[in-house]
Amino acid sequence: MKILEIKNLSFSYQNQIALENINLDVDKGDFLAIIGPNGGGKSTILKLITSLLKPTKGEVKLFEKNIGYVPQNTNININFPIKVKDVVSLGFKNNLKNQEKIEDALEKVNMLDFADTKIANLSGGQRQRIFIARALFNNPPLLILDEPTASIDVKGQENIYKLLKDLNRDKTIIVVSHDISVILKYASKVAYINKNIFMHRVPELKSLDDKEHFCEVELMSMLEECSCKNS
């Protein structure tokens, strides 16, 4: 069952084309990783999906209104004296059900014991879990994340992706990432975006990785060449 459908999508910033003729289907239960070079349009497509931007041409159809979004920059002052539980409920109307929702979201990211901890006292990986919990506050079936492991150490990155894989049991995941090795472990589909889009099945990429070691730059170059040949 489709949860997202993008048809003939193009988008331009003023006169500069950012995305051109994008077609993409995301099914319920997918773990879609979006990769590509800097400036290729990865973050832009997330903003189009979440209606932060409007297409120049084409259309984006979301079949779920309730989505969770974790942007690349959370724009929160970590030195502000605010507790974890308050960060999770930021932007939501205060009511009697909030405490239950906060606890449920924190439990899903294994951070319930930190509910009364100040955000400044957490590690980078722990803070990212809190921002994911905030996106989970209303229990969305679709979770969208833009570079969720940026500025986190290697162990923290691995933990975040293990968490996302666990959440993928009952949620659809769309994530922008540069980490090819992580994608090979956890994603079910890969979209390579550099203005245009080319879809890859993860088993095909795993077979390539089994034959020979590819560094991330080499593999990205190979995917771009493959995309050009098939465009």
Element (H, E) at 10: strand 2-13
pLDDT tens across 11-58, in order?
999 889 999 999 999 999 999 999 888 889 999 999 999 999 999 999
Residue from 175, 177, 97 nearest 135 by CA: 175
Cα separations (Å) of 135 from 77, 108, 186?
18, 11, 20
Which amino acid does the sequence have at 2?
A: K
Answer whether 119's CB lies under 8 Å from 82's CB.
yes
In CATH, the architecture of 1-66+145-150+170-231 is 3-Layer(aba) Sandwich (3.40)
Q: What are phi and psi of 127, to 5 degrees?
A: -60, -40
pLDDT tens digits, 165-224: 999 999 999 999 877 766 678 888 889 899 999 887 665 555 555 444 444 545 555 555
- pTM value is 0.85
